[in-house]
Structure 1
């Protein structure tokens, strides 16, 4: 018998049953009123489904007889799970009378450190726990996005100093994919939205005899707000998702790791061309969408109010100030850079599996559309007196 804190020398086993054979169930054997033998296999498999039961048995014995003798020398197998079960049953400290083998000391010594055992965390309700988890995830996304923006700015300085680093072909390809190839869908959606909007406005204005003001309302709403916003939402769903999927597939196929091994910056090769290309192409797509929305509105005004298209086109420049057009273009440029930056951010966070790829694409589209609407609302408040 030794003190718990010292390395013991092997002692002859107490009288009783023979050591347990292989795959023996874990058990406690009473040798005498104040002596207990720990026998069997105290392992993860052996303790399966009996952790609480055996822990409570050990705790009850320790509480009833604090000076009880514990003999661990005839244990069949002992791993960390079994040692932790005994340790917790003893109350987080070795008993005063303990017989153990030198190789068993290592398993228990890890629990003698103050930071070895996991600390009990305060339990939150399901709603608070979910809210806290989402808040932490949102904060991590924010930190990573700021870090990506910082790396992009630093690499932009390097590209300005060394123009050979700029991927002109990649920028050109992204302008074509995000701009030229998006013209048909934006034209269709823009024309139909303008048609519907003008039809509803005309119905109301006709009631008050203010037919001509349909040009004011439609021109201001389309060039200032609806055109850039609608184009950004379509591009976020169409091109933003494609960017995220492209970078995510590169993660799955380990192409990003290959770029890192070759010393090629991800922001220079992948992020910067996408951000620059979308910041160039989206204002043009927004102008195209606004033109088709005005065409649809002009068609509805002709059918509903009998308004001549020539009069519509002649009156539009006089009632809508150029500042509204420049404001829409500026917003579109910011929208484009933001969509590409978010798409790259979520693409770089993809893990090498298909499930993570699908989740990242969904998060990219939803986040981009949400932030576009938020930024548009901020612009509407800050520039509420411009062009009106």
Structure 2
């Protein structure tokens, strides 16, 4: 069998007549001869030299002698044509085979376009823009929360005017999960916080010989503020996030849309039972939180400060009135309403992806805890203004 003849070496020959140049290409323009093609193509360097545009020429690339070509060879020819045109020359192709024309067209259609990167505004502008966007987002969230509150109030009035529409089983189920399931963690956290408050307060009060006043401080602080606030924060992280995840999952599986198709109101079916259960559960959790925190304060007072339980309870009964307890408990339904509204509204914002579900669940917990603290501060200002 005869050995296969080697492919002709790529070659370029340039002829000119005044401002008319003819570049004759010959040989095999393939990837195996790329090095030879790069050396041969240097004959075209004068046509793409800087300043060439001041003496524009008419250049013809004659490809009639090209025996074979692949994408690599066609790309080299296309590149040199672009370089010659870039300095102002008028380049045309002659004697182009059908295969070469196809390769050149494909290369032209697949050249990546350079995208102009937008200029970054100054840092102060970016900072102000971020603040503005955050402000607008907060405004939208506030409007959405008010809208959800209005819809909830309307549906609640409808339910109580037509009591048969109240889903009692759903309310009891959510109450069981929001209240009974949260009792251990709420009482444990409150017990530990009661220990810390009494220990720190007793440490500093003992320096002034006023150790007994740790009872006054612990009792008033726990009953008015800490008990309900701890219960609300834990419920926001536990039940508020659960509401968002449950409703968000239903949104992802299009179950909320299915309720609309069936003629059922999603707010009445999904939101109203959850909010009623949470409004009933949080005052009870706040009461248990108060008890656990006071027990913690009493134990640390007994072990560290020498205040026996009977002295602690007698002093607590003297300085703490039922009003202190009711001031704390009165905040619970409002905090529960805020937690439930935020959790349900964020759940209804979930899109069709798990990323959206995670983002809205995180947003629900952060917003609920923030608003709970804001509501507690507003109540503190209000009670101070009315002298309670």
Normalised to the residue count of structure 1, the TM-score between the two structures is: 0.69
Residues 235-265 of structure 1: CA deviation (Å, up to 9, x unaligned)? 1111111111010111111111111111111
Q: How far did 1:128 drift?
A: 2.1
Preserved contact between residue 324 and residue 386 of structure 1 (Cα < 8 Å): no
Q: How far did 1:136 drift?
A: 2.2
Distance 1:386 1:320, change over 3 A: farther
Q: Which residue in 1 is equivalent to 2:99?
A: none
Q: How far did 1:170 drift?
A: 1.1
Q: Which residue in 2 is equivalent to 1:100?
A: none
Distance 1:378 1:300, change over 3 A: same
Q: Which residue in 2 is equivalent to 1:258?
A: 258
Preserved contact between residue 275 and residue 337 of structure 1 (Cα < 8 Å): yes
The structure with more helix, counted as a fraction of residues: 2
Distance 1:223 1:385, change over 3 A: farther
| Partner Cα separation in structure 2 for residue 45 and residue 160 of structure 1 | 68
Structure 1 unaligned spans of 5+ = 1-24, 31-39, 53-122
Distance 1:158 1:209, change over 3 A: same
Q: Which residue in 1 is equivalent to 2:369?
A: 369
Structure 2 unaligned spans of 5+ = 1-77, 86-103
| Partner Cα separation in structure 1 for residue 230 and residue 136 of structure 2 | 31
| Partner Cα separation in structure 1 for residue 115 and residue 257 of structure 2 | 43
Q: Which residue in 2 is equivalent to 1:148?
A: 148
Find out whether 1:269 has 2:333 as its counterpart: no
Preserved contact between residue 324 and residue 387 of structure 1 (Cα < 8 Å): no
Preserved contact between residue 232 and residue 372 of structure 1 (Cα < 8 Å): yes
Q: Which residue in 2 is equivalent to 1:357?
A: 357
Q: What do you get for the CA RMSD once the two structures are aligned?
A: 3.1
* Structure ID, larger Rg: 2
Normalised to the residue count of structure 2, the TM-score between the two structures is: 0.69
Q: Which residue in 2 is equivalent to 1:304?
A: 304
| Partner Cα separation in structure 2 for residue 322 and residue 47 of structure 1 | 80
**What secondary structure, in the 3-state scheme, does the structure 2 residue paired with 1:263 have?**
coil
Q: Which residue in 2 is equivalent to 1:230?
A: 230
Q: Which residue in 1 is equivalent to 2:219?
A: 219
Residues 289-348 of structure 1: CA deviation (Å, up to 9, x unaligned)? 110000000001001221111122222132112222111111111111110110001000
| Partner Cα separation in structure 2 for residue 281 and residue 310 of structure 1 | 31
Q: How far did 1:129 drift?
A: 2.3
Q: Which residue in 1 is equivalent to 2:113?
A: 49
| Partner Cα separation in structure 2 for residue 370 and residue 283 of structure 1 | 19
Find out whether 1:190 has 2:182 as its counterpart: no
Q: Which residue in 2 is equivalent to 1:73?
A: none
Q: Which residue in 1 is equivalent to 2:14?
A: none
